[in-house]
């Protein structure tokens, strides 16, 4: 039915939003009016959803309806050579730990509609991204973005980590001449890849179970005892501890740590949940103070720092 399908996606991990541009080219045009049925990238968990921004052919906006049960767009066409669909994906990324995320993209619905299929997915280069399966994939890097090209309509699993956390895990990433990511690890490449593979397989099984609706998927969070393994959390506690009486503005934490606003926000919310800090709202500012539990951790970190 279609001559080609190309999809461009940018994922904003911090806001859990994907921006999609889907371009469809028809094999032939028709003077008769008919309804073209075009797949959309389906939600993969209960709180995931998509929202259509516009559907157009050139500068002309087209009439359409959405079948959310089948996850397809029904577009009224007449003598139409190509269609561009812009839409957004919400809550497709799952945070499975501090700075660790999974993303599942089901592209299988495109398998029977065209032989010319390409998907380009971009992330900020502050993340490291691994993809399974790797068949027909290519990765490129720029100063700001990491872009992954997919050439087959499979179901893909992405394992995404904040680059600052790679150093905590004992490994570092570097870009080889071929454009792929080379990993050097003090624990050995074998164990690193086995760990990622376990995460990917577990996530894929959860995805399949959700699609069959035989159980609810619940993701285990990292226990509070592991919080201090995160360098950013340690920095936050050490900085906030210097202001025991007046506290410190959350915006100041962003400046003093040099971390993105979204990164600090996630850590602050986690620390508040664990009753290590308290957040006091003053006007338009969040004032951060340590709780008694937080002060104990602050003293512990100071002692560890003094013994280094």
The predicted pLDDT at position 258 comes to 85
230: confidence class by pLDDT, cuts 50, 70, 90: confident
Listed range (62-66, 123-127, 180-184, 210-214) with the worst mean pLDDT: 180-184
The predicted pLDDT at position 245 comes to 87
H or E element, residue 256: helix 250-257
Q: Of residues 209 and 28, which shows the higher confidence score?
A: 28
Rounded distance, CA 81 to CA 3, Å? 10
Does one domain contain both 121 and 191? yes
Would 218 be classed as within a structural domain?
Answer: no
83: confidence class by pLDDT, cuts 50, 70, 90: very high
Q: Of residues 99 and 205, which shows the higher confidence score?
A: 99
Does one domain contain both 34 and 179? yes
Residue 133 preceded by cis peptide, ω within 30: yes
CATH code of residue 159: 2.60.40
Does one domain contain both 156 and 234? no
The predicted pLDDT at position 198 comes to 58
Instruction: Please state whether beta strands 82-90 and 49-57 pair in parallel, antiparallel, or not at all (unpaired).
Output: antiparallel
Would 217 be classed as within a structural domain?
Answer: no
Does one domain contain both 230 and 208? no
Angle formed by the axes of helices 231-240 and 261-273, to 10°? 80
CATH code of residue 283: 1.10.10.10
Percent of the chain with pLDDT over 70: 79
Average pLDDT over residues 161-189: 45
Does one domain contain both 204 and 229? no
Does one domain contain both 295 and 230? yes
Does one domain contain both 13 and 93? yes
Does one domain contain both 18 and 143? yes
207: confidence class by pLDDT, cuts 50, 70, 90: low
Note whether 118 and 149 are within 8 A (CB).
yes
**pTM to 2 decimal places:** 0.58
Does one domain contain both 204 and 256? no
Does one domain contain both 208 and 229? no
User: What range defines the domain where residue 46 resides?
Assistant: 2-212
Work out the burial of residue 274: count CB atoms within 10 Å of its CB; fewer than 13 is exposed, 13-18 middle, 19 or more buried: middle
Residue 210, pLDDT above cutoff 80: no
Residue 173, pLDDT above cutoff 50: no
168: confidence class by pLDDT, cuts 50, 70, 90: very low
Note whether 113 and 73 are within 8 A (CB).
no
């Amino acid at each position: 039915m279609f001559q080609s399908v190309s999809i461009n996606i940018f994922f904003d991990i911090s806001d859990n939003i994907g921006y999609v541009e889907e371009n469809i080219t028809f094999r032939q045009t028709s003077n008769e009016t008919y309804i073209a049925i075009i797949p959309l990238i389906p939600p993969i968990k209960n709180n995931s959803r998509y929202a259509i921004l516009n559907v157009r052919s050139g500068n002309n906006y087209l009439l359409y309806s959405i079948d959310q049960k089948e996850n397809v767009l029904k577009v009224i066409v007449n003598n139409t050579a190509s269609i561009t669909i812009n839409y957004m994906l919400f809550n497709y990324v799952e945070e499975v730990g501090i700075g660790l995320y999974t993303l599942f993209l089901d592209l299988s619905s495109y398998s029977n509609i065209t032989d010319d299929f390409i998907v380009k997915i971009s992330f900020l280069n502050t993340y490291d991204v691994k993809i399974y399966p790797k068949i027909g994939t290519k990765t490129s890097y720029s100063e700001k973005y990491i872009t992954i090209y997919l050439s087959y309509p499979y179901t893909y699993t992405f394992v995404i980590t904040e680059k600052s956390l790679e150093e905590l895990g004992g490994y570092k990433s570097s870009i080889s001449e071929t454009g792929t990511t080379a990993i050097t690890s003090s624990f050995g490449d074998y164990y690193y890849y086995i760990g990622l593979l376990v995460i990917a397989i577990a996530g894929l099984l959860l995805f399949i179970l959700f699609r069959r609706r035989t159980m609810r998927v619940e993701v285990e969070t990292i226990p509070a005892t592991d919080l201090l393994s995160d360098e950013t959390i340690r920095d936050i506690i050490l900085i906030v501890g210097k202001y025991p009486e007046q506290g410190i503005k959350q915006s100041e934490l962003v400046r003093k740590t040099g971390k993105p606003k979204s990164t600090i926000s996630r850590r602050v919310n986690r620390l508040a949940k664990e009753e290590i800090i308290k957040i006091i709202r003053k006007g338009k500012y969040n004032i951060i103070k340590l709780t008694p539990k937080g002060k104990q951790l602050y003293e512990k970190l100071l002692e560890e720092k003094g013994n280094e």
